[in-house]
Structure 1
């Protein structure tokens, strides 16, 4: 047991990240998932795992202190998860900290309780946008306060053997001596296309058009959209996504029960089956076998919302190498990781600052308009106080609005009435 790398995974879903981390050598101490059907999928495939079902921020479901060094004779090696995406999704309103489903800042606070050797949290590409630069800076600064070095990176799943672009924004953090050995995984030299990934499945019932279809679909597919309990069913997403799939010869208006049969013809192309969608997400074959609990729409949603197992494996191997000390030390570690100089200046100063003072403190070439725009963006996640300072307005950053565990937060009442609809 002393040689095992232990992981606690939150918001585990149907197990895409779970399976990838397992393949990288991590053993699940605990997996927590809100959706009962997705949790059933985890238990179906790994009955030996401890799986907690319910709101991860509810201590009656899971108390993070139970995985702390105060309660265990060892440290958890990795704290991982894919916290809810809607607060940051480009397809949504990007409410960030104002969205009751936001758990990213809360997850960071649990790092201070669990004190894992490493952290890996992933989310959608929207979190990498300028809209959330202050939010990201808060996360980096908070992790530094807790004794961790951290980096963000936008990765495309197509670089790691997945036949869809599927960009994911990943945060990795470790204590500095181990983070010095962390290297982001290198992209694979050869990309897998939709046609190559699905040719065997398309021809499994003897459909004569499989070869021609595979040649036409010889490209990376758009990101599969799983939808939510409130929006989206068993199809390949909104109108734009369906149009992109149509260009590859795939009918995105639904999911088929079986692969094409001999003699079948299609105006656009065949629909994908659940098995095909799972293959495009990286499940299948000898290394990534997996079964899914539930009915068709639920299974599609589980598959479509997952983190591709091969991508999780690549990241897990990189983290494991750093923790084991088998990877080389980086030639250079940045002294700081600044994503938002305006936030950084206001936070470090702690008092009212004029725009000129922010420029001087930040040492950047930002214009007055850019700084004003940065303050306006920050105000979506932080309280910003204003005061007159001669002929200028000065600013001071205040309370961070995100849920970090506070008892009086609106998230609690939201979940009491909506937990069965949250996804």
Structure 2
């Protein structure tokens, strides 16, 4: 469907205060079940398109956003959608691209991971030309291991005409009773950037107990008050999991132990709250329902739109839990979306300055700025770093995960030059195509 037809069918957009605002068009990739979509909608965006691979999540999106704006399939497949059709017509490109390439729980292969879509999403900005870009991922992307990857992203966005910055945001700073750190990238055009500022933290006063006590008591459980006092901290990060790993539970062993300290059985999910005759929490800890997990992810009980979204959640218990567990908390998306809208509308005094660019990998900076082969001694001297041979080789091994490193023997020892970025950016011969073809049933 052409963009103009889809936009013609968009609903009226109201912000959090119910005030009608001008249509700001969002295009969302890897949209999942729509936690980010819901938050952006409440900030004041209307979706021109949402693309999602998982069939259950796509069904949830269609029920909440409308059939006309949802595409189901591989986001990088031109037969699913053509980015060029949306060129110069979108205010915001947003997405939560796959996290395993950067996850601490995984192998952190970065650009060398066939699932990595971060670099592809950056290149998408060069085709669609949105006024703003918003991408979020796991905390692991903020680690020193990915310093060069991050700098490459910033450099590429600058080439495409954007100013960008990263920020680690905690969901608990946006009235969500869960830790859930997410590493967020925002990019804007130079004329809009001075009006952007990251949303100020507003730490939640809620705990797991205060947030869920009413739901826990819905089945008549006599020990809900007692349980609420035991569950007196915010939740650990909820892990939605994937098609590869089991059913619906609250994460790996360490996560389950954290839930146990909150008197929650993390080995699975319940179909309903505890009944009237359920044992005390000290004897048998209750399990959470999907609806309880949604509350801990920022779906608010007193918000009709939030509850409408949950009512349209597609699939059985495991599919519904994965959709919620992998979502970007709507209140966080709403806060960042509102900050972007303020920048696009040039609200405020326009005092923001360009983000600092001196916190990244000095060795990468030297190699990326030189087309010559350089010895380790020369590289370290130009980078202003002091490393022994083992430390230098470790850094080079990290760079080699994300970039092609050429090595040449010289009289002074090995010399190095950096060349291609290994990440998938749409190239026909990339290993991602074979991975997706062979593993389609397990990709989520």
TM-score (structure 2 length as normaliser)? 0.90
- Cα distance, 1:143–1:338 mapped onto 2, change above 3 Å: farther
Q: Of 330, 338, 362, which aligns to 1:317?
A: 338
Unaligned runs of 5+ in 2: 1-6, 8-20
Matched, 1:187 2:208: no
Unaligned runs of 5+ in 1: 70-74
Cα-to-partner distance string for 1:242-262 (whole Å, 9 max, x where unaligned) = 110000000111111111111
1:367 aligned residue: 387
2:292 aligned residue: 276
Asked if 2 retains the 8 angstrom alpha-carbon contact of 1:158 and 1:192, the reply is no
- Cα distance, 1:171–1:214 mapped onto 2, change above 3 Å: same
Matched, 1:257 2:276: no
Deviates more, 1:129-138 or 1:143-152: 129-138
Query: Which residues in structure 2 correspond to 1:70-219 (within 5 Å)?
Result: 75-219=89-233
1:72 aligned residue: none
1:235 aligned residue: 249
2:15 aligned residue: none
Deviation of residue 49 (structure 1)?
A: 5.0
Asked if 2 retains the 8 angstrom alpha-carbon contact of 1:159 and 1:191, the reply is no
1:381 aligned residue: 402
- Cα distance, 1:336–1:242 mapped onto 2, change above 3 Å: closer
Report SS of the residue matched to 2:401: coil
Moved over 6 A (4+): none
| Alpha-carbon distance between aligned partners in 1 of 2:164 and 2:33, rounded to the nearest angstrom | 27
Deviates more, 1:321-330 or 1:21-30: 321-330
Deviation of residue 376 (structure 1)?
A: 1.7
Deviation of residue 48 (structure 1)?
A: 5.9
Asked if 1 retains the 8 angstrom alpha-carbon contact of 2:238 and 2:325, the reply is yes
Query: Which residues in structure 2 correspond to 1:398-417 (within 5 Å)?
Result: 398-417=419-438
2:18 aligned residue: none
Asked if 1 retains the 8 angstrom alpha-carbon contact of 2:197 and 2:352, the reply is no
TM-score (structure 1 length as normaliser)? 0.95
Q: How many pairs align?
A: 417
Give the RMSD, CA atoms, in angstroms.
Answer: 1.7
1:244 aligned residue: 258
Asked if 1 retains the 8 angstrom alpha-carbon contact of 2:294 and 2:324, the reply is yes
Deviation of residue 382 (structure 1)?
A: 1.0
- Cα distance, 1:280–1:190 mapped onto 2, change above 3 Å: closer
Asked if 1 retains the 8 angstrom alpha-carbon contact of 2:47 and 2:65, the reply is no
| Alpha-carbon distance between aligned partners in 2 of 1:366 and 1:422, rounded to the nearest angstrom | 42
Matched, 1:305 2:326: yes
Deviation of residue 319 (structure 1)?
A: 0.7
| Alpha-carbon distance between aligned partners in 2 of 1:219 and 1:268, rounded to the nearest angstrom | 19
